[in-house]
C-alpha cells in the first residue's frame, strides 16, 4: 500500500529525537510504503496534505496530535482521499474516540488492515473541525496555556490553567440561532460538538455521534451561584451528570450561528481560531478515515 505520511516531529509530551525512527520501524513491520514529510510550523499539515492529493496518493497518514490531524483532515476534505492516524500527541482525542490504538505499531497495523469509515466534519466560518468548536471559557484556556508547560506536564497544563481562570471568568450574553429555535442567555461556555469526547475521559456531549449528520450544542449557563455553579458543572462532566444540571442546556442541530455581547474567543479542536460571531455547520460523511 503506497501512502503519504505527514509527521509532526514535535508532537506530544516528552518529545523524542527518535520519533521518526519509531514511525519508520512501525511502517516497515506492516509493509506500508510511505513517502514521509515533516511539518515545521502551523499550517504545514494542510499544505502537505493538499500536495499529497495533487500527487495522486489515495491514503494520507497524519502522525501527530489532534492539531496535526485537524490540519491534515482540512487538506483532504472534499477530495475523497482517505485519512490514517498514527497518534503521537498529548491527548489524541479523535484517535481515542475512533478506538485507534495509542501504540504506534498497533496503530500502523490498523492502517494496514483496518476498514474505512466516513465521519462528519464541522465547519466554522470556513474552517474545519473533527471534534468540537468551543466558545468562551475553554477557548481562553487553550489560548493562554504556555507551550513549554504543556511540553513538560502534558494535558495537566490545561487543568492548571482551567483552575486559574475559574477564579476570574465572567459569563457572557450569547445568542444561538438554529433552524428550529433561537436561544439567548448568559453562559460561561458553549461547545458545538461533532464527537462525544471532548478530552481524554471527558464525554462532554454524550449523545453526539461523528456520523449522524448533526451537531450537539452544550450551553453552560450562568447558575445562581455563578463561578461556583460553573465549577460544579465542570466537575459533573467527569461523572457524566452535567447534562442533568438545571443550568446546562443541550440542543441537536445541523447548523448554528453563535453570537455574543461582547465577542468571545473561539477554538476549533483545541486551537484558538478567532472571535464570535461564528457560523457553524456539519458536513455529513465528509472524511473517509481508517479505523479498526
| pLDDT tens for each residue of 215-267 | 999 999 998 778 888 888 888 988 888 999 989 999 999 999 999 999 999 99
Is the residue at 255 inside a domain? yes
Domain-located, residue 39 = yes
Same domain as 133, residue 199: yes
* Structural domain boundaries, residue 48: 2-113
104 and 72 within one domain = yes
**Which residues are 267's β-sheet partners?**
134, 272
Could you tell me if 116 and 60 are in contact, meaning their C-beta atoms sit under 8 angstroms apart?
no
At CA 215, angle to CA 74 and CA 76, rounded to 5? Answer: 15
Asked, for residue 186, whether it belongs to a domain, the answer is yes
Q: Tell whether 194 and 74 lie within a shared domain.
A: no
Task: Look at the chain and report how many structural domains it folds into.
Answer: 2
Q: Among the three residues 113, 140, 172, which one is the final residue of a domain in this structure? A: 113
Distance CA 196, CA 174 (A): 23
Which of 88, 113, 138 is the endpoint of a domain?
A: 113
Same domain, 53 and 164: no
The whole-number pLDDT of residue 276 equals 97
> Pick from 52, 87, 54, 81: which is nearest to 69 by CA?
87
Using alpha carbons, select from 118, 138, 141 the residue that is nearest to residue 130. Answer: 118
Is residue 290 included in any domain, yes or no?
no
pLDDT digits (tens, 9 = 90+) for 42-85: 899 999 999 999 999 999 999 999 889 999 999 999 999 999 99
User: Which among 80, 113, 146 is the end of a domain?
Assistant: 113
Amino acid at each position: 500500500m503506497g501512502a503519504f505520511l505527514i509527521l509532526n516531529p514535535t508532537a506530544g509530551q516528552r518529545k523524542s529525537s527518535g520519533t521518526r525512527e519509531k514511525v519508520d520501524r512501525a511502517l516497515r513491520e506492516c509493509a506500508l510504503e510511505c513517502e514521509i514529510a515533516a511539518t515545521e510550523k502551523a499550517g504545514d499539515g494542510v499544505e502537505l496534505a493538499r500536495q499529497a492529493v495533487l500527487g495522486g496518493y489515495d491514503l494520507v497518514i497524519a502522525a501527530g496530535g489532534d492539531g496535526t490531524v485537524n490540519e491534515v483532515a482540512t487538506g483532504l476534505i472534499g477530495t475523497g482521499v482517505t485519512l490514517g492516524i498514527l497518534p503521537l500527541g498529548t491527548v489524541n482525542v479523535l484517535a481515542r474516540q475512533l478506538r485507534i490504538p495509542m501504540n504506534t505499531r498497533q496503530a500502523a497495523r490498523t492502517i494496514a488492515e483496518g476498514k474505512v469509515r466516513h465521519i462528519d466534519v464541522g465547519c466554522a466560518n470556513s474552517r474545519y473541525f473533527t471534534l468540537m468548536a468551543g466558545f468562551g471559557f475553554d477557548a481562553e484556556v487553550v489560548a493562554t496555556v504556555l507551550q513549554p508547560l504543556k511540553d513538560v506536564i502534558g494535558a495537566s497544563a490545561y487543568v492548571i490553567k482551567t483552575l486559574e481562570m475559574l477564579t476570574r471568568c465572567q459569563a457572557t450574553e450569547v445568542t444561538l440561532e438554529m433552524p428550529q429555535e433561537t436561544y439567548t442567555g448568559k453562559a460561561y461556555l458553549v461547545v458545538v460538538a461533532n464527537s462525544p469526547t471532548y478530552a481524554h475521559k471527558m464525554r462532554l456531549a454524550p449523545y453526539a455521534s461523528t456520523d449522524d449528520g448533526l451537531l450537539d450544542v452544550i450551553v453552560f449557563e450562568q447558575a445562581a451561584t455563578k463561578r461556583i455553579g460553573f465549577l460544579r458543572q465542570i466537575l459533573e462532566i467527569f461523572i457524566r451528570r452535567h447534562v442533568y444540571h438545571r443550568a446546562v442546556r443541550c440542543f441537536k442541530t445541523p447548523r448554528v450561528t453563535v453570537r455574543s455581547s461582547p465577542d468571545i474567543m473561539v477554538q476549533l479542536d483545541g486551537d484558538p481560531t478567532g472571535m464570535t460571531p461564528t457560523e457553524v455547520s456539519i458536513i455529513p460523511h465528509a472524511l473517509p478515515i481508517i479505523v479498526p
